[in-house]
Amino acid sequence: MIRLSRVSLKRTHTREAISQRLSSGPRQTYLKDMVFGAIDGSITTFAIVSGVAGAGLSSGVVIVLGLANLLADGFSMAASNFLGTRAENAYRAFMREREIAEIETYPEGEREEIRQIFAMKGIEGRALDDLVAAVTANPKLWVDTMLQEEHGLNPEDTNAWWSAIATFVAFLLAGALPLLAFVINWFVPGAIDDAFLFSAVITLVGFAVVGAAKGHFTDGRYLLSVLETLVVGSIAAGLAFGVGYGLQALVD
């Protein structure tokens, strides 16, 4: 359960504070991009480590292949996220133009859609009439309402560049963790006896950190978020290890 301080809320809900916050527009969050990038970075790099380390190859080989994966796969994910976000923004722009055309061509039908949208939310009578009149009197509000309620689209575009950057940075930071033990052994040979075990443990630690961060920015349920991320990440990492082990046995 979320607990809020009345004193803090009172300070941030003065007329001036509200006006300043709303005038800057809605804040975009890139939590999904960061979690996605971090989990995928950890899993794909751990898959490389599982396969290569299982073959008994040197730390240098693990590092080279791991870094290649970090840069190539990280960039691929960031580029895919960028293009996907751009495509979603383009679709939103297309639907906006379509709604504008429909309103201009047949305003009566679009006004009835607004009426039924809010009637389904339980508004009726004079309040419904006033609300429909207010929404349809503002062209931008009218179109934004149709985008959100009829098509399930956020009226505001998402910054494709920042989405891609968030994915790439999270991928690099989390994906570097499984390589840490091998990098240490590269500089200080024999410093870590079982580099693969160390890699597996620190990968799980990375999952826990990502889960804790997710819990901080969502509902504050740190333990549940950590456990959820650990379970999902561990299953994926286990699959990666199983595939790597199986392919190694096939090569042998």
The whole-angstrom separation of Cα 10 and Cα 77 is 42
pLDDT of res. 84: 94
Residue 154 domain-assigned? yes
pLDDT of res. 53: 65
Average pLDDT score over residue span 94-118: 94
pLDDT of res. 41: 85
pLDDT in tens, 183-210: 898 888 888 888 888 888 888 888 888 7
pLDDT of res. 249: 60
Strongest mean pLDDT among 6-15, 68-77, 212-221: 68-77
Residue 72 domain-assigned? yes
Residue 22 domain-assigned? no
Average pLDDT score over residue span 47-67: 76
Strongest mean pLDDT among 7-16, 68-77, 195-204: 68-77
Which are the contacts of 232, defined by CB distance < 8 A and separation ≥ 6?
39
Q: How much of the chain, in percent, has pLDDT values that exceed 70?
A: 83
Strongest mean pLDDT among 42-51, 62-71, 94-103, 234-243: 94-103
The answer to whether 45 and 179 have CB atoms below 8 angstroms apart is: yes
Which pair of structure tokens corresponds to residue 182?
Answer: 């091998």
pLDDT in tens, 110-133: 999 999 999 999 999 999 999 999
pLDDT of res. 72: 92
Range of the domain at 188: 29-251
Residue 5 domain-assigned? no
pLDDT in tens, 145-169: 999 999 999 888 889 999 999 999 9
Residue 145 domain-assigned? yes
Strongest mean pLDDT among 10-24, 124-138, 199-213: 124-138
The pLDDT confidence band at residue 226, using thresholds 50, 70 and 90, is confident
Question: Looking at per-residue confidence, does 144 or 4 come out higher?
Answer: 144
Domain count for the chain, please give it: 1
Identify the burial level of 86 via C-beta atoms within 10 angstroms of its C-beta, where 0-12 means exposed, 13-18 middle and 19 or more buried.
Answer: middle
Residue 52 domain-assigned? yes
Structure-derived torsion over alpha carbons of residues 148, 150, 153, 157, reported in degrees to the nearest 10: -70
Q: Is the pLDDT of residue 251 over 60?
A: no
Residue 9 domain-assigned? no
Residue 19 domain-assigned? no
Which are the contacts of 67, defined by CB distance < 8 A and separation ≥ 6?
179
